[in-house]
Amino acid sequence: MAYNKVPPNSLEAEMAVLGAMLIEKEVIESVTETLLPKNFYSGVHSQIYEAILDLRARNLPVDVVTLSEELKKTGRLEELGGQKYLADLMEKVSTAAHTQAYAQIVKEKSVLRDLIRVSTAVVEKSFEGSEEVDRILDFAQEQVLGVAQKNTDHGFTAASDLAKEVLDRIEKYYSNNSAITGVPTGFSRLDDMTGGLQKSDLIILAARPSQGKTAMALNMAYHACVEKKIPTAFFSLEMNKHSIMQRMICSAARANLSGVRNGRLPREIWPSLTRHTAEVSESPLYIDDSPGLNILEIRNRTRKLMHQLKAEGKTLGLVVIDYLQLIRGAGKTESRQQEVSEISRLLKDLARSMEVPVMALSQLNRRSEDKAREGNRPQLSDLRDSGSIEQDADVVGLIHRPEYYNRADPTLKNKAILIIAKQRNGPVGDVELAFFHEYTKFENPVMTSMDSSVPEEAVF
């Protein structure tokens, strides 16, 4: 698709940059850190800049004489305007003091041209209409994001600078006197092991049905958004938003779910319900209960929320997805295993590109309930549909409730274990918890002395 407009450029700024490099060698380093040959609109200027870079790489002096000789050797001097044009470049600047400002103008014009280029590609795809809308939307966001990332990339970081940044971060942790460096979960032993849910991590929380995956995710989300005021996105592909909100409020208020459903709540629970409802309503929690979302839609909606929060001066701190096996793939695949592999890879890409922890709930296969297995303890190999989930995840937590499999044993009452089966940057092991099924609530094990006489119900 062609447009009858001249792309954004500033030939004057390009000439000023090149001229300054010829009269003042000190500016060469700063300019080369800012500009690449492709940032120049003029092909002539781009080639001259490349010749300057070549001289610099060979530790040769850069001036009008050496540059003329370099271009003459390659037969390009006259083609690029001859010595007269090089002299004209030098006359464009009387001082090199403003060279960095000129270089920035050249860079900004280049970014605008890149945006026009990728936008044109999006327009062409849209007119063709040969791809699904979701794929075109994802392509558009990826292309624009690519332009942004390319122009904020600073290349290598010196060890001296990086080491100082790390030391500053360690000092900050020390001064805060806290082992939690990520999003706190509210479970003290888990936070001790992981330091909280870390930025850019993909966390998989897995269990068999009725073990409390959603309950634990809601408990963590509540602690993040209500207790710590961390903006949290919750994708519910199974339950509607009203059920999610009801579960969260009742769990926090310790209100019996059976009593809620049959309208037989004791009067004394109402103050707690009212208080927790008010707290949740004021929290930065965002729920999307759209059924049948595909992975591209989840990525697009997360990015949209991130930009919305950024405009409000906030930062998205946690993304929860309930649950992974209900996410549709972006297109046709040969098998469900390949589809889940693509989904887990894109979830990890989402966590890394947005620098936010992404927690995805996942089902375990039936092997975890094999009676021949001691204690019915789940294992990493029980993750359903794809081994790539284990590979892509930074942390894998497996929920195990011994009471569920041996209800006759009174010593197992309310006991639950979160098995940290994988942690890329930390230890693995068991986190002991208490689970109160009547509230669908996990708590730190100090609460295990509380009695519960309500018959157990399935927890989803």
- Strand-pair partners of 423: 395
- Strand-pair partners of 433: 416
d(CA 306, CA 354): 8
Handedness of CA 181, 145, 234, 295 (dihedral sign): negative
Scanning the structure block, which residue is given the tokens 């519910």?
A: 236
For residue 264, how many C-alpha atoms fall within 13 Å in the half-sphere facing its CB?
A: 3
- Strand-pair partners of 328: 294
Scanning the structure block, which residue is given the tokens 């059924």?
A: 291
Q: What values do phi and psi take at 286, rounded to 5? A: -130, 120
CB atoms under 10 Å from CB of 41, counted, come to 19
> Active-site residue among 24, 108, 142, 238?
238
Scanning the structure block, which residue is given the tokens 């999610």?
A: 244
- Cα distances (Å, whole numbers) of residue 50 to 46, 114, 175, 425: 6, 20, 49, 43
390 is catalytic: no
Q: Could you tell me if residue 216 is left (phi over 0), alpha (psi between -120 and 50 degrees) or otherwise beta?
A: alpha
Task: Quote the tokens at residue 294.
Answer: 């595909």
Catalytic residues: 238
